[in-house]
Amino acid sequence: MAKQPKRFKISNIIFIVIIALLIIPQTRQPIQVFLQKGIAMFVKPSVIDTSERLKLTSYNWSLKDLEGETFDFSSAEGKVIVINFWATWCPPCIAEMPSLDQLYQHYKSNDDVVFLFVSNEDTELINNFITNKSYSFNAYQSLTNYPQEFDVTSIPRTYVISKKGEIVIDKSGAADWNSDTVISTIDELLQ
């Protein structure tokens, strides 16, 4: 009987270990986040062609931040808006969050750019997540339905909206938000 090559046995063991790690709940999310971060490094959000952009028909949306302060979305009308729908349990959301925080850091002192990180989870859970990760942005929860143009059927879902209310970027899934493309797009929208 022919002896199997040692390499074949090692590859089987590696495969079984990977499958086991993906099955075990405690290791599944970190592995998924790691893989999504790798994907996000190569996925850059793309700008929607001018002729195909949807325009917001209403800014009628109320949110509250983690301190319970109400935010009226209509106060963001006429500004560049970045909206990210996310959750603390979502591996692609977790994977792209560092780049979103870096983008937020880049524009946080600019009053003409509004960032809304929207989650429907419990306030304490969101707050613990942001604190543990040392993120500097504030998160929000919807008090009313968001505008119909935000067709959020999966998360993460991120929009960049122009001062005129046009959806310039609409991206589902993890991406690198602190990219030259996104920054130059926001800079152009600010002019």
Positive or negative torsion for Cα 167, 118, 156, 149: negative
List, for residues 104-123, the tens digit of each pLDDT value: 999 999 999 999 999 999 99
Whole-Å CA distances, 129 to 15, 32, 68, 94, 141: 32, 17, 17, 10, 15
The distance from CA 188 to its chain's CA centroid, rounded to whole angstroms, is 21
Residue 163 · residue 79 · CB < 8 Å? yes
Tokens 């917001």 label which residue?
56
CATH class of 42-190: alpha beta
What pLDDT sits at residue 107? 97
- How does residue 1 score in pLDDT terms, banded at 50, 70 and 90? low
Each residue of 15-28: pLDDT tens digit?
777 676 667 666 66
> Does 190 or 44 have the greater pLDDT score?
190
CA-CA distances (angstroms) from residue 141 to 28, 63, 92?
A: 27, 5, 19
The domain ranges of the chain are 42-190
Residues β-bridged to residue 160: 82, 169
The packing angle between helices 25-42 and 6-23, to 10°, is 100
Using CA of residue 86, residue 92, residue 98, residue 104, what is the dihedral sign?
Answer: negative
Q: Residue 21: its pLDDT value, please?
A: 63
Residues 6+ apart with CB under 8 A from 130: 66, 137, 139
Residue written as token pair 């059927």: 153
